[in-house]
Structure 1
Amino acid sequence: MQKVDLQLDANGCGEALYRLSCDGKDFHYFVISQDLPESQKLDRNFAASWDIMAVLCEGSWTPDREEYLRRQVPLQRAGRGDIDTLIYARGNRSGRLFNAVVDALAAGRQPDLRELARVGYIVRTTAFIGNGQLGTRPFSGYGADHPFGAPYHAQIMAGFLLREFSFDLVNEMAAARSAGAVQLAPEICRFLGLGNAAATGLVPFLVNHPRLVGEWVASDRAALADICAQPVTPAIVERTRALVGKAAAFLAETDRPDDGVFATDATLAAGLGVARSRLDEGGDRTLTLGELRERMADGLHPGVRALLDSIFLDVLPGVADRHARIRSIDERLAPDWRGTTGSLLSVVRDRYGWALAAADREGSGAAFWYRASGAPRDLRRGLIGRRPEAEFETAMDVVPRIQALHAALEKAQDKPLADFLADHPELRHIAARVHGLADLPFAELEVDLTAMALSPFPPVRLVLALFGLDQFEAAHPKSVRGTFLQGAPIELDLRQRVADEDDQGHRWPFPLMPQKLSAGARPVIARDAIRFDAEGKWRCPYGEDAEGRETLIITPIELERGFLGLMQSGGLDLGVAEEAAVLATEAVIWQPRLAGVLVDELSAADANLGEPLRLVQSEPNRPALLSGGCAALAAAPAVLDLACARAITGAGSGLAIAHVGVAGLAAGPALAAAAARRGFIALVATCDGSTCSLTLAEDRGTSVALTEPTPISGPDAALLFNGRFDLETIKGALRNQGRARVPAGLFLACVTSGEIADALRDAMPHEPADADVLLMSANRDGVAISRDVFLALERLSARLYVSPDVEVDLRDEIIDPLKMF
């Protein structure tokens, strides 16, 4: 790590640049610092400006890149990073402590340690933005060997660097104000962390990332179980005694006031005292750590028991580390297209009894979640029934959707789930959730998030704890605040290879006020560091296409989010819109020009996204036939499930046909690829009433291969869309001979027979190409589409957002405690 440049004046205004090198990759942390008036500070994710704004970037640092980011970073959510920007970070100076620290240093003395202990930080933050937002690279584009490839490690590194900058900031300000200034002692720097606060808007993290959260919690429990199986040794007893004693001393020093929600520091410290006194009970009998843990924790406050669990993870950190190697996880959920209504009903009864029981509680279902136009990335809660036009389904509706799913399944005869969901598209999202999380015991938060009496404090604390927050404090009515990285190493430790331990062998966690202070030193600027890479290449997000129109590099996540918003606001049910958005995004990745086509078609007045789709032929041994006036893309998820379900019970193939509207037919090849990923040879035909085409897809083990859409026509093409599927019909349609009216819609054949598959390959005039290569490169490099098209997609997606005049009716306004943070 190098500090390449620090240019800060006496008010802390200016810039800084840090360079990291890891595993052959270079990263840069570019900081813009200003001194906002207190009245302009809003510690919320959607705030327009901050005292400190920074970006963590990968790759070369060039003059063009620096100038671009110098313009974009202060714009925050109105700006845009490049595809090699990993994280946006922001922070405000602590109103309780920052100026006091600068004044003390400028006066030639260290700040008051007791004041520092009560607050724990000099800069606070809310949210580190990444994973495709504001043009940042998605996690899926980092690559398996990336230094920050583990979930949210890039965010934690951005937090570490923001904390480091806070020390450089006060040091530079003090030095600029007084020739007699001293620098903040390194012991104090280690003692301080980075403040953070979050409110109800963080609760959706638990719901939107159930697999990741489930893996994290399961790993935590597995690590604790492994540790508890170890035999107790004298060394383990002494380390446990030291850590418990240190934790109690830490709590005594912080001594947070009683917030009426979380256990007080005094309660926790007293409980730890009791636990420590039990360490030597039991005589000479050999114990496991699990038995020791139970003896120490028996009858104590739940907060004390949880704290003891955390301490036991640090007693044998090597054991815990073996469970911490979690990489990025695919969070997409899909219904069980192989299953039946009976099998899904069994899972609902087994896993969601808590949600079914919530129906009997007063206030259940009284609230819903929505996105406000002023903060579209955050979900808020409103009261049901006040403005029904604002009540779009979200993933937060687990309890009411489970109740609706259960009721519908109880009425349904045992039949293929694909058929059931074709008739009940409104239940597709919750059916996918139930199936996708069935084997993950810690994935679902068993809380009614639509209940009037919901307390946000426990779920918000859970998320923050998973990220490593300490010193929890509830700020009524909905916020939790605390400190990240308190006691963590500092840049000096990395430079000098100082071990992360004190004279007791464990500096972090539970840092205590330092007893000895050494002289602080001015930040060490790497004077020999070259600021710019003379041969470096920077990937500007803006460009031009062949016709001279402005283009913008867009991430797949942004495209998917935009199509989802467009289609759901147009009337499509959430679960259908989610899967259709994936298909639309893949189609654009393969052919960027389709972005404009799909946006225009899906937003047209005759797109009929919300029109009902009927399953008019459902016999298992015949092609599934769907009919309706809805968009073709709206029918695609049902077509996919129906064809796949029939393929595993049919004689070598399964067919599904949808006679529907034409909007979204361009995503037909993506539908073929989706079927191929399920293990089939897939043949998709699309027709808009005049032009028809055929696409073949197959899974080749490491990726999906896809042919170019090939024109078809004539009587054989018409026969195909009426349910005849044989080799001669395919060949006849490809010959484009004769004229015949072909109904508009989608045809999907999923083939299991090797003989039929071989014949289809031979019949297609084009060799299939690797489709997944483009998907992987799009996550790494983005997709260049028309800037006007992307802005139109954002505008159409924003129809989901609630305007301020509507929001007034949804909420009972209250004082926001974050303004007093």
Structure 2
Amino acid sequence: MTGGPRPRPTERLRRAQQSARPADQVLDPEDLGSARHTRHSFARSFLRVAAAQRWTVTRETWDIDAQGRGEAVYRIDAEGHELRLAVFSTVLPDGQRTDRVVADAWDITAALVEGPWNETRHAELRAQVPGQEKGRADAATLVWTRANRSRRFFDYVVDRLAEGRQPDPAELGDAAYVLRSTAFYSNGKFGLADYGRLPADHPLRLPYRSQMLTAWLLRELSYDLVEHCAAAKSPDAVVLDGDWRCFLGLGNATGLGMVPYVINHPQVLDAWCAVRELPLAYALGRTTSPQDARTARVRLLIDRARAYYRERDTLATAPYLPGPELAGQLDKVAELLAEYLATGSILGHPTDRAWHELHTAAGEIGLEARGVVDSVLVEVHDELDPDIDALLHCDQTLQVTPGQTCGELRSDVLDRYGWVRRFDFDDPGQQAHFWFSSQDNEEPRRGRRGTDPGEEVEHPVDIARAVTALLGDLERADDGRLVGEFLLAHPWHRGAVGRVQSLAGLPYAEVRANLLAEDFLPLHLQRFQLALYGMDNYSPQSTDWLRVTLFSGAPRASDTAAGTDHDWFFVRKPRKEAP
């Protein structure tokens, strides 16, 4: 299979693709690692739709004791569909809380279900959901999830509310939450519903929308739990109010399993990069004026981002910039924008393409500054909102085209995979690691070749190495030989051949990296994916995993029911002094 890029699903996206950044730049790991959430991140787009369609959430059952043990059921009415989140809550001793997949108990377990509801259904969930990996779901259940109380924040918030006071921002730090989610299982796992069965007009038909709904409901539960426990503790208890009403998010921690995912789902990677790149290309192509309302909006958001990152001065971010340093870079961007507003020029040059000039100048200042600037520029253009969802449904088939000639395939590899020649696989440093699934941890891990066990079950995520080997054998094959004949003699190349042929026309399907290399940093790919989900407050705990928050500052259930999706971009900490 050869040919040019496959057309994007709408005319505006096709035009944006023509002016988008080159694939080698988009797929550079450091560029991916500079990504920030945008208006098209899954959390943002989900809540925009929920508010526009006025989804309602009703706390239908609340059988919770003073410590927070018991059961709750939330009913969701979404565009004519009735769903429920069934929650099972307990209180684990601190020593038993862990984010690991191999945990066997959690403070919270829950299931998002659709269809008729009765006590029999509830009892079936009660018997299965708390066991998670040990349980089995029915085909009308969409998502299973679990979460733990924050050891640092849950009891603190309860105690403050019980005393009749709001939390102190200084005590909650830079990434505030009271529940921390640890997994969102779906799409057939444990017998859960296959999303393919959902009709095209279903409100959860879009990939990741069910998970986003579930995560948002967990965050709603976290507010309900701390306020309930505080009220049980004292008759003088208050609820979270003012800026605190929406500030607390949902905590999350993620590890190496995200990295093989985007390698094993290249069509998804192409779509996800397009979600980031095409709205940016569209924005960079717009003409601007210092007097335009969008220019004033960009200035407001840049100023807000400067304050947002400057006050995040305790969050551990290495190897990425600490918040105050990033704020310092954004100060330089703000100076350029002030020049444009005053004179119509940037760096002394008159321009009616200020967004393009800001993007370029921010890149000179630093990749992370440019990541923030790009998110702001996309934020002020909502024209592509209806188009973006169409990107997310992917044909993930990989298959061999045996009738192609070796000469055609070699030419295609050289054209689209020339980047693999950056890596010398005779250098041991380029094969220092291997990836495998750990039997003990039940999730992907990275091992050191020649030292750690597991090489015999190595994951085939070595795309650069596999394509390099394929190219070597293709260069020794006759140009006119058919690929089918070539594979009879070289069957070990079947996977690489099918991948190369099937991904023709998808510009963003391959990360420009060697995952086996000594210097490969997994955090870059993790951060890119987390930004697409809508997460922020990236706090790496090692080269392999990091903590984040989701939905901080986002609308609550009562807001969406009223049709409100308020501005929650770079939401700052509550600034009132704690009484």
Give the aligned residue type for 2:373.
L
Which residues of 2 match residues 294-693 of structure 1 at below 5 A?
294=359, 297=362, 299-320=364-385, 322-360=387-425, 361-376=427-442, 378-385=443-450, 390-392=455-457, 394-414=459-479, 415-497=481-563, 499-501=564-566, 507-515=567-575
Corresponding residue of 1:208: 264
What are the within-5 Å matches in structure 2 for residues 189-338 of structure 1?
189-233=245-289, 234=291, 235-282=293-340, 283-284=343-344, 285=350, 287-294=352-359, 297=362, 299-320=364-385, 322-338=387-403
Structure 2 counterpart SS, 1:180: coil
Counterparts of 1:403 and 1:305, CA distance in 2: 33
Give the Å deviation of 1:362: 4.0
Measure the CA separation in 1 of the matches of 2:240 and 2:265: 40
2:412 partner amino acid: V
- After superposing the two structures, state which structure 1 stretch, 139-148 or 169-178, moved more: 139-148
Stretches of structure 2 lacking an aligned partner (at least 5 in a row): 1-56, 345-349
Code of the aligned partner of 2:310: A
* Paired residues of 1:279 and 1:296 also in contact (CA < 8 A): no
Please state how far the C-alpha of 1:389 moved relative to its aligned partner.
7.5
How many Å apart are 1:338 and its aligned residue?
A: 2.9
Determine the C-alpha separation between the residues in 2 that align with 1:225 and 1:320. 14
- TM-score normalised by length of structure 1: 0.60
1:186/1:342 CA distance change after superposition, 3 Å: farther
The farther-off stretch of 404-413 and 94-103 is 404-413
3-state DSSP of counterpart to 2:388:
coil
Tell me, in whole angstroms, the C-alpha distance in 2 between the residues paired with 1:176 and 1:374: 41
Within 2, Cα distance between the matches of 1:465 and 1:139?
Answer: 23
Q: Which structure 1 segments of 5+ residues have no match?
A: 502-506, 519-821
1:68 to 124, 144, 150: 124
Separation in 1 of the partners of 2:130 and 2:363? 52
| 1:479, distance to aligned residue in structure 2 (A) | 0.9
1:128 pairs with one of 172, 175, 184:
184
1:286 positional shift: 5.3
Aligned to 1:671: none
CA RMSD, Structure 1 to Structure 2 (Å) = 2.2
- CA–CA distance in structure 2, aligned partners of residues 143 and 386 of structure 1: 49
Between the aligned partners of 1:64 and 1:474, the Cα distance in structure 2 is 44
Write the distance in 2 (CA, Å) between the matches of 1:91 and 1:298: 38
- 1:704-743 maps to which residues of 2 (within 5 A)? none
Alpha-carbon distance in structure 2 between the residues aligned to 1:137 and 1:338: 38
Give the conservation status (yes or no) of the 8 Å contact 1:132–1:138. Answer: yes
Per the alignment, residue 88 of structure 1 pairs with: 144
AA partner of residue 384 (structure 2): V
Q: Matched residue of 2:412: which SS? A: helix
Structure 2 Cα separation of the partners of residues 256 and 208 of structure 1:
36
The answer to whether the aligner puts 1:175 opposite 2:231 as a matched pair is: yes
- Shift in alpha-carbon separation, 1:327–1:299, aligned structure 2, 3 A: closer
Rounded to whole Å, the distance in 2 between the matches of 1:10 and 1:119 is 27
Structure 1 residues 8-87: aligned runs within 5 Å:
8-87=64-143
Per-residue deviation at 1:239?
0.3
Deviations 1:505-531 (A, max 9, x none): xx311112345799xxxxxxxxxxxxx
Note the alpha carbon deviations across 1:264-314, whole angstroms, 9 max, x for none.
101111111111121132524551243342465262111001110011111
- Deviation digits for residues 33-72 of structure 1, max 9, x if unmatched? 1111111111123322211111111111122211111011
Secondary structure of the corresponding residue to residue 430 of structure 2 = coil
Does the 8 A contact of 2:553 with 2:571 survive in 1? yes
| TM superposition shift of 1:258 | 4.7
How many residue pairs end up in the alignment?
Answer: 511
Change (3 A) 1:344 1:24: same
Counterpart position of 1:108: 164
- Aligned-partner residue type, residue 468 of structure 2: Q
Conservation of the 8 A alpha-carbon contact between 1:368 and 1:391: no
Aligned to 1:17, the other structure's residue is in SS state strand
Are residues 241 and 117 of structure 1, via their aligned partners in 2, closer, same or farther at CA, if it must alter by over 3 Å? Answer: farther
For 1:260, the aligned partner's letter is A
Q: 1:347 to 1:15 in 2, by over 3 A?
A: same
Aligned equivalents of 2:398, 2:106: Cα separation in 1 = 37
Structure 2 residue matching 1:154: 3-state secondary structure: helix
Q: Which amino acid aligns with 1:429?
A: G
- In the aligned structure 2, how far is the partner of 1:172 from the partner of 1:427? 60
Question: How many angstroms does 1:330 deviate by?
Answer: 2.3
TM-score (norm 2): 0.84
Q: What is the Cα deviation at residue 350 of structure 1?
A: 2.2
How far off is 1:464 after superposition? 1.0
The change in CA–CA distance for 1:228 and 1:75 in structure 2 (over 3 A counts) is: same
Cα distance in 2 between the residues matched to 1:85 and 1:288 = 49
Letter in 1 for 2:526: V
Q: Cα offset for 1:16?
A: 0.9
Counterpart Cα distance in 1 of 2:73 and 2:529: 30
How far is the alpha carbon of 1:10 from its aligned partner?
A: 1.8
Using the TM superposition, give the Cα deviation of residue 193 of structure 1 relative to its aligned residue in structure 2, in angstroms: 1.1
Structure 1 residues 6 and 389, CA, compared in 2 at 3 Å: closer, same or farther?
Answer: closer
- Greater radius of gyration (CA): 1
Corresponding residue for residue 162 of structure 1: 218
> 1:326 is matched by which residue type in structure 2?
L
Cα distance in 1, alignment partners of residues 120 and 359 from structure 2: 60
AA paired with 1:510? F
Q: Which letter maps to 2:520?
A: L
SS in 1 for 2:509: coil
Task: Give the Cα–Cα distance (whole angstroms) in 1 for the partners of residues 452 and 336 of structure 2.
Answer: 58
Relative CO higher for 1 or 2, CA cutoff 8 Å, sep ≥ 6? 2
Task: Tell me how far 1:82 sits from its aligned partner.
Answer: 0.7
| Partners of 1:197 and 1:482 within 8 A in 2 | yes
Name the SS of the counterpart of 1:254 in structure 2.
coil
Structure 1 residue 246: Cα displacement: 0.8
Q: Deviations over 1:616-639 (max 9, x none)?
A: xxxxxxxxxxxxxxxxxxxxxxxx
CA distance in 2, matches of 1:500, 1:253: 25
Are 2:436 and 2:447, in contact at CA under 8 Å, matched by a contact in 1? yes
Identity of aligned residues (%): 36
Amino acid at match of 1:508: W
Work out the CA distance in 1 between the residues paired with 2:499 and 2:556: 42
Q: Distance in 1 between matches of 2:177 and 2:499?
A: 40
Q: Which letter does structure 1 place at the counterpart of 2:302?
A: V
CA drift of 1:390 comes to: 5.0
**Deviations, residues 435-480 of structure 1 (Å, cap 9, x unaligned):** 1222212111121112233221111111111111111111114212
Q: CA deviation at 1:321?
A: 5.0
Structure 2 distance, partners of 1:281, 1:511, is 26
TM-superposed deviation, 1:29: 0.4
Change (3 A) 1:238 1:207: same
SS at match of 1:80: coil
